[in-house]
């Protein structure tokens, strides 16, 4: 699909598998959230001054196995891209993030960020992260970061010391981990609904 000059394409996909190939024209904006579904999103910025935002949140349990894939190409300069992909993996869940970020030689003054954070809640859950950056332009600002960790034991104990049982404390920390992805949703109604869903687990 094509996002025409100056247009905005903004969507939140919840539990809906996403396969998108997007070409952006100058000054267009793409903002996509995918919550709890596999996705593969390819974006090519073909015009100047494009904005691309991709957010993924995968909260996986049991034997679930989910791959999230992004391919972002800055063919032309002056654009920005921001990606935040988070996985929470419990039980025997498997997660995989493949993130290609390419900044072409002509794409000067590009700003591109890719972040992948993952939380493992069990010994048997597994996460594979494959970021790949290809930067051919020299005047760019690009960052990428990937980390996989466990819940903070000292925070868990702190909450238990205040009378909160361990299960509830874990849930509070997991919700806190997921919140920034949800908070970045523009549509207030959808955002509040999702925040209520995760907070509802705690009350």
Partner 1 sequence: MKPLLEIKDLHASIGGKEILKGVNLVINEGEVHAIMGPNGAGKSTLSAVLTGNPAYEVTSGEVWLKGENLLEMAPEVRARAGVFLSFQYPVEIPGVSMTNFMRTAINEKRKYEGKEPLSAKEFLSLMREKKKLLELPDKLNNRSVNEGFSGGEKKKNEIFQMAMLEPCLAILDETDSGLDIDALRIVAEGVNRLKTPENASIVITHYQRLLDYIVPDFVHVLADGKIVKTGDKTLALELEEKGYEGF
- Please report whether residue 151 would count as binding partner 1 according to CB under 8 A: no
Dist. CA 85–CA 128, nearest whole Å: 13
Using CB under 8 A as the binding rule, whether residue 102 contacts partner 1 is answered as: no
Q: How far is the CB of 106 from partner 1 (least distance, A)?
A: 39
Q: In whole angstroms, what is the distance from residue 79 CA to residue 81 CA?
A: 7
Q: Is 136 in the site for partner 1 (CB under 8 A)?
A: no
What value, to the nearest 5°, has the Cα angle with vertex 59 and ends 54 and 64? 110
Structure token digits, residue 121: 């809640």
Dump strand ranges (E) for the chain: 2-3, 8-14, 18-24, 29-35, 39-45, 51-60, 65-74, 80-89, 94-103, 110-120, 126-135, 140-149
Q: Is the separation of the CB atoms in 148 and 115 below 8 Å?
A: no
87 binds partner 1 (CB under 8 A): no
172 lines the binding site for partner 1 (CB under 8 A): yes
Closest approach, Cβ 171 to partner 1, in A, equals 10
Interface segment toward partner 1; rule CB under 8 A; list 22-30, 95-103, 146-154, 184-192: 146-154
Q: Which is nearer to partner 1, 63 or 153 (CB)?
A: 153
User: b or e along 132-144 (b: 16 or more beta carbons within 10 Å of the residue's beta carbon)?
Assistant: eeebebeebebee
Nearer to partner 1, 22 or 181 (CB): 181
Decide: is 94 part of the binding site for partner 1 (CB under 8 A): no
> In the complex with partner 1, which residue's Cβ is closer, 139 or 203?
203
55-84: which residues touch partner 1 (CB under 8 A)? Answer: none
Name the residue nearer to partner 1 (CB basis): 8 or 176.
176
Q: How far, in Å, CA of 35 to CA of 20, rounded?
A: 15
Q: According to CB under 8 A, which residues from 183 to 202 bind partner 1?
A: 199, 202
Residues that bind partner 1 (CB under 8 A): 152-155, 157-166, 168, 172-173, 175-177, 179-180, 199, 202
């Amino acid at each position: 699909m094509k996002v025409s000059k100056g247009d905005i394409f903004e969507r939140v996909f919840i539990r809906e598998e996403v396969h998108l190939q997007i070409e952006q024209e100058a000054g267009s904006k793409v903002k996509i959230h995918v919550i709890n579904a596999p996705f593969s999103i390819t974006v090519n910025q073909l015009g100047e001054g494009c904005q691309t935002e991709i957010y993924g949140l995968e909260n996986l349990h049991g034997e679930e196995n989910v791959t999230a894939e992004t391919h972002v190409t800055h063919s032309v300069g002056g654009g920005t891209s921001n990606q935040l992909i988070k996985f929470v993996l419990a039980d025997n869940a498997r997660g995989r993030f493949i993130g290609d970020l390419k900044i072409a030689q002509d794409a000067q003054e590009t700003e591109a960020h890719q972040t992948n954070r993952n939380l493992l809640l069990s010994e048997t859950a597994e996460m594979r992260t494959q970021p790949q950056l290809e930067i051919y332009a020299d005047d760019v600002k690009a960052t990428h970061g990937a980390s996989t960790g466990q819940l903070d034991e000292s925070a868990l104990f702190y909450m238990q010391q205040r009378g909160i049982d361990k299960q509830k404390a874990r849930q509070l920390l997991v919700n806190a981990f997921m919140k920034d992805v949800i908070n970045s949703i523009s549509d207030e109604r959808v955002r509040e609904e999702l925040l209520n869903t995760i907070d509802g687990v705690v009350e």
